[in-house]
């Protein structure tokens, strides 16, 4: 009871697994579905306003959080002095909840890609389209992965309080199966897929990376300096030669001609500002795009 | 040689190039060697920071990569974990990316580094008392924003299964006890293969000392942050990771037998010791010699391609 | 356990070779591996969406967590239930009639993103603008370039300078550094102007300013290219290491 008393129960935050909480969850869900159903009946003209309202309200939260006066030296249990401070408290308390909204909705939407994949492949199987057997293969792999994945999670989460299954020596068939599919097959295939880009880069560089203009020459020179600086062995040989020269001439200025020094200079004096310029441009674009989305001016984006 | 030869040379079958790349990179793996290296300033700063932070303060590790970038990011995370575990620094880790396997991959790396340490009779890190995993946050912006605002609310209500089997609130564990804000962490490290480092800089660089370990694709974009001190250091790509392993073995401005100093970093004032125990030269060292071969091949290919183009033009002009 | 590890690695090698086979030409072995890959990827995502995200961040927050051991109770917040219908709106994209509703959850996510942009711009770029204001006038003319932080003793060996002398050198701006800083600022301004004013400019000076900007942007792209090459080659090297070092246990 003492532990129970430590947590603050409110109208919104209720005792776990209590019947009242479950009733409210179900009612909230049904009401949500009701609103969703009502939206399906919305006239075409209202659709844009509905989507805009959701977008604007979401954006407004962070704009308010940024512009609203912040309550200073707030202690747990402090009551606000006035309405302005009340809003500040509310904004402050709502940040993690709003962040949760972004996490949860993103997670729900991640399923959309899988849904689309399933739709395409079930149709291919149903129609016995060309190479439909590969679609069956895809489905079997998917179901097997889901099966092993969930059983493994349930066993680790709810049936292994000592965390013994974290060690391979204590694994059962499910853990071996999950590991074989995830680490043995899926992960290695992902690595192989991504590594293939290197082959295409090599081929493209051989065929197309030509000194044809000032721009391509500058790009090639910059890339070459950077690649040479990545090769420590080459740098070492060159540096040893420079060090010997410095020792003979007692002229430390020659140190500036080490590959690492030249590359460091190019990096800090030319590459950093040019990348920064690109990022400044991208950043300004993001602000402009952000404002356009928030204010519902972006036609192709979230406007219905 | 006539124009036809140079033309043929430029149109050599791409599969020949692929075979050459496979053969050379395979041979390169057998040339594993400790290559002397001039470490990047950013790597030196990062290593010095990791070796100097207060071991009593936990570190936040945001690990946003999957096996697709194993060649670089796994070496990064292994390197980071070896330093943290050797220095007995507690850490909390999570993934802030929509790439679903990211968290599982990081958990697997912790497991195999623990196995490596067990085999070397070194302290094994235990969940709950030495480290905590928080899971996957698919919306990196939201995750970092709420951490900026209030870490206790952002991670509030989460529990971890301790070695004794009890579930405990993460803020009551030895890892996060005493942590009330981002400023209570000794350091934050973002190990990434994507632009999540941008989100972390946007939201957290003024709240906690921020550093990064990123793939070669992302690393150049970190230069402006480093120059503006928004990042206190970073290891960029395979070279950055090799720098780290080299410093783990030799330290910075640290005289070894005969007074020889392997890493002279003028930017770092004073001496930073090597790691001392545990593995130092590891995955990045294994790959670094090979990287020389692969880069040389690319440079050679570009040079040959250009020479062939000019020679062909010249031969054509001569024929006219 | 060793047997299992060998089987696991063999499976990985089998699929790696299967996918690499497309480098020769499109073939059935590749398609076989490709579809298994897609199935496993989708399957794993379905698992991770619940186990790594929704269970902790949605379900437990909605239903709460009872007190246990020394951990106090976490109340359940029923309002989290409203996110399920909003999330389900996303799936209306499958409906021809109501696919506009899928823009509601996307609108919420983009709205949250857009609201953060102005503040983020400043926290991301404020320090960088400040960092770009580099001194372009030397503070000393005692030497054109920055002197070395070491000297030579009578035997000809390098001897580091005293910390005080090194600190004085570090604190000064020498002519070559000022020149480098000037080049830094010019690079930033010209590249930025090319990036932002990408329309026809009148006047020889402005046009050449933009041309220089374009060239200097190429320096940045060159760095990106070189670094990207390192990243991609590292992945191939890793695959080769997987086959030779981890699977065949050669050259370890």
Backbone angles phi, psi at B293, to 5 degrees: -65, -45
How much is the pLDDT for A301?
Answer: 53
Cα torsion for A146, A152, A154, A157, to the nearest 10°? -130
How much is the pLDDT for A300?
Answer: 58
For A86-128, write each residue's pLDDT tens digit.
999 999 888 888 989 999 999 999 999 899 999 999 999 999 9
Distance CA C129, CA A193 (A): 39
Question: How many C-beta neighbours within 10 Å does residue A53 have?
Answer: 15
Give residues with Cβ within 8 angstroms of A234, minimum separation 6: A228, A259, B292
Collapse the DSSP code of C161 into the 3-class scheme (helix H, G, I; strand E, B; otherwise coil) and give the result: coil
Burial environment of residue C109 by CB neighbours within 10 A (0 to 12, 13 to 18, 19 or more)? buried
Cβ separation C124–B201 shorter than 8 A: yes
Which residue of chain C is at minimal alpha-carbon distance from A188?
C12
How much is the pLDDT for A302?
Answer: 56
Name chain A contacts of C242, Cβ cutoff 8 Å: 188, 191
For A136-173, write each residue's pLDDT tens digit.
999 999 999 999 999 999 999 888 887 788 778 889 99
pLDDT band at A5 (very low <50, low <70, confident <90, very high): very low
Name residue A155's beta-bridge partners: none
* DSSP count for chain C of H helices, then E strands: 8, 3
Backbone angles phi, psi at C199, to 5 degrees: -140, 175
Out of B223, B288, B305, closest to residue A271 by CB = B223
Distance CA C216, CA A124 (A): 51
Out of A32, A145, A219, closest to residue C225 by CB = A219
Q: Provide mean pLDDT across the span A258-268.
A: 88
Q: Which of B265, B280, B295 is the last residue of a domain?
A: B280
CA distance B80 to chain A (A): 21
Q: How far is residue B15 CA from its own chain's centroid?
A: 32
Q: What percent of chain A has pLDDT over 70?
A: 95
Q: Which residue's structure tokens are 């989305």?
A: A293
Collapse the DSSP code of A62 into the 3-class scheme (helix H, G, I; strand E, B; otherwise coil) and give the result: helix
Question: How many C-beta neighbours within 10 Å does residue B192 have?
Answer: 30
Is the four-CA dihedral C13, C17, C20, C22 of positive or negative sign? negative
Name chain B contacts of C45, Cβ cutoff 8 Å: 100
Residues B59 and B111 placed together within one structural domain of the fold: yes
pLDDT band at A8 (very low <50, low <70, confident <90, very high): low
Q: What is the DSSP string of B136-185?
A: E-S-HHHHHHHHHH-HHHHSTT-EEE-TTS-EEEGGGSTTTTT--SGGGS
**Element containing residue C36 per DSSP (H, E):** helix C28-48
Q: How far is residue C240 CA from its own chain's centroid?
A: 25
Burial environment of residue A277 by CB neighbours within 10 A (0 to 12, 13 to 18, 19 or more)? buried
Residues B40 and B30 placed together within one structural domain of the fold: no
Question: What is the Cα Rg of chain B in Å?
Answer: 23
Name chain A contacts of B145, Cβ cutoff 8 Å: 62, 95, 99
pLDDT band at A4 (very low <50, low <70, confident <90, very high): very low
Angle between helices C28-48 and C2-20 (to 10 degrees): 120
Q: How far is residue B113 CA from its own chain's centroid?
A: 15
Distance CA A8, CA B157 (A): 13
How much is the pLDDT for C198?
Answer: 64
Residues B294 and B270 placed together within one structural domain of the fold: no
Q: Is ipTM strictly over 0.85?
A: yes
pLDDT band at A3 (very low <50, low <70, confident <90, very high): very low
Residues B29 and B62 placed together within one structural domain of the fold: no
How much is the pLDDT for C223?
Answer: 85
Residues B103 and B223 placed together within one structural domain of the fold: yes
The set of chains that have 3 or more CB pairs under 8 A with B is A, C
* A 158-177 residues with CB < 8 A to B: 161-163, 166-168
Out of C54, C191, C235, closest to residue A195 by CB = C235
**Element containing residue B303 per DSSP (H, E):** helix B283-319
pLDDT tens string, chain C, 252 residues long: the values are 789 999 999 999 999 999 999 999 999 999 999 999 999 999 999 999 999 889 989 999 999 988 877 778 889 999 999 999 999 999 998 888 898 999 999 999 999 988 888 888 888 899 999 989 989 999 999 888 888 888 887 777 777 788 888 888 888 999 999 999 999 999 999 988 887 766 666 778 888 888 888 898 898 889 889 999 999 999 999 999 999 999 998 876
Nearest in space to C41 (alpha carbons), one of A194, B37, A95: A194
Nearest in space to B34 (alpha carbons), one of B262, B214, B219: B262
Nearest in space to C106 (alpha carbons), one of C96, C120, C93: C93
Residues B29 and B118 placed together within one structural domain of the fold: no
Supply B193's token pair.
């293969």
Distance CA C186, CA C176 (A): 15
Task: Note whether A284 contacts B: Cβ–Cβ < 8 A.
Answer: no
Residue stretches of chain B with pLDDT short of 50: none
Task: Note whether B217 contacts A: Cβ–Cβ < 8 A.
Answer: no
Cβ separation C108–A101 shorter than 8 A: yes
Residues B120 and B148 placed together within one structural domain of the fold: yes
CA distance B210 to chain C (A): 13
Cβ separation B298–A275 shorter than 8 A: no
How much is the pLDDT for A2?
Answer: 39
Name the region of A250 (left: φ>0; alpha: ψ -120 to 50; beta: rest): left
CA distance A40 to chain C (A): 6
Give residues with Cβ within 8 angstroms of C39, minimum separation 6: A137, A138, A139, A140, A141, A142, A145
How much is the pLDDT for A22?
Answer: 95
Out of A188, A215, A270, closest to residue C15 by CB = A188
Cβ separation B291–A103 shorter than 8 A: no
Distance CA C62, CA C76 (A): 5
Number of domains in chain B: 2
Residues B132 and B200 placed together within one structural domain of the fold: yes
Residues B193 and B299 placed together within one structural domain of the fold: no
Residues B99 and B160 placed together within one structural domain of the fold: yes
Task: Note whether B100 contacts A: Cβ–Cβ < 8 A.
Answer: yes
Residue to mutate among B8, B139, B281, with most A CBs inside 10 A, is B139
Angle between helices B237-250 and B75-86 (to 10 degrees): 30
The set of chains that have 3 or more CB pairs under 8 A with C is A, B
Nearest in space to A278 (alpha carbons), one of B41, B68, B104, C221: C221
Contact between residue C99 and residue A121 where contact means Cβ atoms under 8 Å apart = no
Residues B83 and B219 placed together within one structural domain of the fold: yes
Q: Which residue's structure tokens are 């033309």?
A: B7
Angle between helices A44-67 and A272-294 (to 10 degrees): 130
Out of C48, C237, C245, closest to residue B25 by CB = C237
Name chain A contacts of C29, Cβ cutoff 8 Å: none
Nearest in space to A156 (alpha carbons), one of A174, A144, A180: A174
Task: Note whether C244 contacts B: Cβ–Cβ < 8 A.
Answer: yes
Contact between residue B156 and residue C73 where contact means Cβ atoms under 8 Å apart = no
Residues B145 and B163 placed together within one structural domain of the fold: yes
What range defines the domain where residue B9 resides? 1-34+283-320
Cβ separation C220–B287 shorter than 8 A: no
How much is the pLDDT for A1?
Answer: 36
Backbone angles phi, psi at B161, to 5 degrees: -80, 115
Alpha helices in C82-174 (DSSP H): 83-90, 103-132, 163-171
Q: With 90 as the cut, is the pLDDT of residue A263 above it?
A: no
CA distance A32 to chain C (A): 6
Cβ separation B71–C70 shorter than 8 A: no
């Amino acid at each position: 009871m003492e532990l129970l008393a430590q947590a603050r129960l409110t109208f919104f935050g209720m005792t776990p697994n209590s019947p009242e909480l479950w009733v409210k969850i179900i009612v909230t869900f049904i009401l949500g579905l009701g609103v969703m159903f009502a939206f399906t009946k919305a006239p075409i003209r209202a659709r844009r306003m509905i989507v805009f309202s959701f977008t604007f309200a979401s954006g407004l939260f962070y704009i308010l959080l940024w512009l609203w006066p912040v309550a200073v030296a707030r202690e747990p249990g402090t009551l606000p002095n006035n309405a302005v401070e009340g809003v500040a408290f509310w904004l402050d308390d709502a940040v993690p909840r709003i962040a949760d909204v972004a996490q949860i909705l993103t997670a729900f939407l991640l399923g959309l890609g899988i849904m689309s994949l399933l739709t395409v492949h079930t149709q291919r199987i149903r129609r016995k389209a060309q190479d439909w057997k590969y679609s069956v293969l895809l489905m079997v792999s998917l179901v097997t992965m889901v099966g092993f994945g969930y059983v493994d999670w349930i066993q680790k989460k709810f049936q292994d309080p000592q965390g013994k299954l974290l060690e391979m020596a204590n694994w059962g068939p499910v853990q071996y199966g999950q590991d074989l599919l995830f680490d043995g097959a899926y992960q290695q295939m992902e690595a192989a897929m991504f590594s293939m880009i290197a082959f295409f880069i090599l081929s493209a560089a051989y065929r197309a990376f030509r000194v044809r203009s000032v721009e391509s020459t500058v790009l090639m020179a910059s890339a070459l300096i950077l690649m040479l600086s990545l090769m420590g062995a080459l740098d070492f040989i060159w540096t040893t030669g420079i060090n010997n020269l410095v020792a003979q001439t007692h002229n430390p200025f020659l140190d500036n001609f080490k590959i690492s020094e030249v590359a460091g200079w190019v990096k800090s004096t030319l590459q950093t500002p040019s990348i920064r310029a690109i990022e400044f441009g991208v950043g300004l674009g993001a602000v402009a795009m952000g404002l356009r989305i928030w204010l519902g001016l972006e036609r192709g984006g979230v406007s219905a | 040689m006539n124009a036809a030869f140079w033309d043929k040379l430029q149109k050599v079958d791409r599969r020949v190039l692929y075979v050459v790349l496979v053969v050379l990179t395979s041979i390169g793996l057998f040339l594993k060697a400790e290559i002397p290296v001039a470490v990047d300033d950013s790597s030196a700063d990062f290593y010095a920071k990791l070796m100097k932070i207060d071991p009593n303060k936990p570190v936040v590790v945001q690990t946003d990569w999957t096996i697709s970038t194993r060649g670089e990011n796994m070496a990064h995370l292994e390197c980071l974990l070896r330093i943290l575990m050797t220095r007995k620094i507690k850490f909390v880790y999570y993934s802030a990316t929509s790439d679903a396997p990211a968290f599982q991959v990081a958990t697997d790396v912790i497991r195999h580094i623990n196995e490596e340490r067990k085999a070397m009779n070194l302290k094994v890190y235990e969940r709950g008392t030495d480290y905590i995993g928080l899971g996957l946050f698919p919306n990196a912006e939201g995750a970092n924003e709420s951490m900026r605002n209030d870490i206790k609310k952002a991670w509030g209500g989460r529990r971890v299964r301790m070695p004794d089997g009890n579930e405990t609130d993460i803020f009551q564990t030895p890892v996060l006890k005493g942590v009330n804000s981002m400023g209570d962490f000794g350091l934050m490290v973002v190990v990434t293969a994507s632009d999540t480092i941008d989100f972390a800089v946007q939201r957290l660089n003024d709240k906690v000392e921020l550093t990064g370990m990123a793939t070669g694709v992302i690393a150049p974009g970190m230069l402006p942050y480093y120059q503006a001190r928004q990042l206190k250091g970073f290891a960029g790509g395979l070279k950055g990771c090799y720098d780290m392993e080299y410093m783990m073995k030799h330290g910075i401005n640290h005289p070894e037998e005969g007074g020889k100093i392997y890493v002279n970093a003028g930017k770092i004032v004073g001496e930073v010791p090597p790691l001392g125990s545990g593995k130092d030269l590891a995955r990045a060292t294994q790959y670094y010699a090979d990287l020389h071969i692969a880069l040389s091949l690319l440079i050679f290919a570009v040079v040959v391609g250009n020479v062939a183009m000019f020679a062909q033009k010249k031969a054509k002009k001569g024929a006219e | 356990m060793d047997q299992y590890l060998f089987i696991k690695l063999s499976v990985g090698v089998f699929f790696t070779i299967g996918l690499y086979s497309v480098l020769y030409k499109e073939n059935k072995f590749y398609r076989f591996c490709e579809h298994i890959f897609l199935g496993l990827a989708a399957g794993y995502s379905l698992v991770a969406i619940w186990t790594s995200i929704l269970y902790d961040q949605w379900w437990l927050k909605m239903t709460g967590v009872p007190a246990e051991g020394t951990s106090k109770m976490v109340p359940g917040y029923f309002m989290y239930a409203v996110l399920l219908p909003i999330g389900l709106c996303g799936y209306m994209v499958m409906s021809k009639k109501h696919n506009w509703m899928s823009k509601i959850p996307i609108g919420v996510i983009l709205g949250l993103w857009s609201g953060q942009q102005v503040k983020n711009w400043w926290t991301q770029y404020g320090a960088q603008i400040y960092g770009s204001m580099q001194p372009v006038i030397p503070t000393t003319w005692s030497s054109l370039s920055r002197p070395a932080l070491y000297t030579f003793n009578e035997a000809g060996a390098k001897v580091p300078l005293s910390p005080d002398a090194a600190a004085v050198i570090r604190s000064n701006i020498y002519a070559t550094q000022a020149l480098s800083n000037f080049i830094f600022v010019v690079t930033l301004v010209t590249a930025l102007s090319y990036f932002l004013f990408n329309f026809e400019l009148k006047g020889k000076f402005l046009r050449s300013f933009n041309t220089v900007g374009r060239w200097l942007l190429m320096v940045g792209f060159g760095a990106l290219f070189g670094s990207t090459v390192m990243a991609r080659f590292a992945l191939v090297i890793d695959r080769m290491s997987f086959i030779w070092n981890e699977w065949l246990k050669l050259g370890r």
